[in-house]
Amino acid sequence: MTSGQSAWRGAASELITPFDRAGEVQLDLVAGEVEFMAARGVVGVMVNGFASEALMICDQERLAIAGAAKAAAPAGCQLMGTVIAGSTKQGLSWVERYEALELDAIAIATPPLYPYGVDALVDYYIAIAQASQLPAYIYNSPEWGNKLPPEAVARIVEACPQVVGYKDATHSLIELQTLLQLIGRERLSVLSGSDALTVPMMLIGAKGVISLVTTVFPDLIVDLCQAAAAGQWERAMALQDRTLRVRAALKIGPFMAAYKHVARLLGHDLGTPRHPLTELTSQQASAVERRLAQEGVL
């Protein structure tokens, strides 16, 4: 396997998990979400990530979501299954499940909560990546409690030719530049883990983004990535500025609530949050709608 296999470029997305008001996963809406984004140029969808509310869903639900997304994905739209686990044994079990579903790739997420130490984290990533027959992405998301410094990412990459990509949610351009100096700019398909930093990261070598804004406004992020890939930096920065304002509006209120509210307004149902997460208050909903209307997207 080479580093170019299944390496994503452009606008990809993280799946938002839709629940009904009783808190049950709506698999028909999972399928509709994938179809909606794929039809608008989103190149791939990452399922069961942190923004997918994966810490609130059981293993059976995660498996069903991945299966529904896989069944709905048209040709050209790849599916990546996120390995979120608190132990290497748990992580290896998710590799087996995603392989059985014939997903296109795995994303190995930073283990949440416990302070494992850098050497233990490196061993964790290497064990899971080397066990997988699927191309692997390193997903570095320190907000959940652990962080891989650039030198640690480089160690994992050196040990694992099946690691083809890197989702960088560290928000540190300095650390990304350091990593690219250590491994070479073309060794990995680096994707921004934040809509806020897509263009700055593409300026220094990233290939695109795994976005959340794509779940409601995919055209905006597809256009942004295409402009940056073409070197149209003035247009790309204008779209990045607009994305920042849209993203800020979508962060109003409880976790993921604004995304689900806006999707309903657009006729693209993404369900409701799962308790104890809640929906927007009427005041929050008004603020979201007003700010998005000012951007001309609602």
Each residue of 43-75: pLDDT tens digit? 999 999 999 999 999 999 999 999 999 999 999
Per the structure block, which two tokens stand in for 183?
């491994």
Catalogue all structural domains in the chain, each as residue range(s) with its CATH number: 10-228 (3.20.20.70)
Per run of 10 residues, the mean pLDDT along the chain (length 298 residues) is 64 98 97 97 97 94 98 96 96 98 96 92 98 97 91 98 96 97 95 98 97 98 98 98 98 97 97 96 98 97
Question: Residue 180 and residue 126: Cα distance in Å, rounded?
Answer: 19
Question: Residue 149 and residue 164: Cα distance in Å, rounded?
Answer: 18
Mapping DSSP onto H, E and C, the string for the chain reads: CCCCCCCCCEEEEECCCCECCCCCECHHHHHHHHHHHHCCCCCEEEECCHHHCHHHCCHHHHHHHHHHHHHHCCCCCEEEEEECCCCHHHHHHHHHHHHHCCCCEEEEECCCCCCCCHHHHHHHHHHHHHHCCCCEEEEECHHHCCCCCHHHHHHHHHHCCCEEEEEECCCCHHHHHHHHHHHCCCCCEEEECCHHHHHHHHHCCCCEEEECHHHCCHHHHHHHHHHHHCCCHHHHHHHHHHHHHHHHHHCCCCCCHHHHHHHHHCCCCCCECCCCCCCCCHHHHHHHHHHHHHCCCC
The structure tokens 């996963």 sit at 25
What's residue 7's pLDDT? 85
What's residue 144's pLDDT? 83
Question: Residue 86 and residue 146: Cα distance in Å, rounded?
Answer: 11
Question: Residue 294 and residue 287: Cα distance in Å, rounded?
Answer: 11
Beta bridge mates, 8: none
Whether residue 112 has a cis bond before it, omega within 30° of 0: no
What's residue 4's pLDDT? 42
What's residue 2's pLDDT? 37
Q: In one letter, which amino acid is 119? A: D
Beta bridge mates, 107: 82, 137
What's residue 6's pLDDT? 66
Per the structure block, which two tokens stand in for 81?
């299954």
Residue 43: closest CA among 191, 253, 257 = 191
The pTM assigned to this predicted structure is 0.95
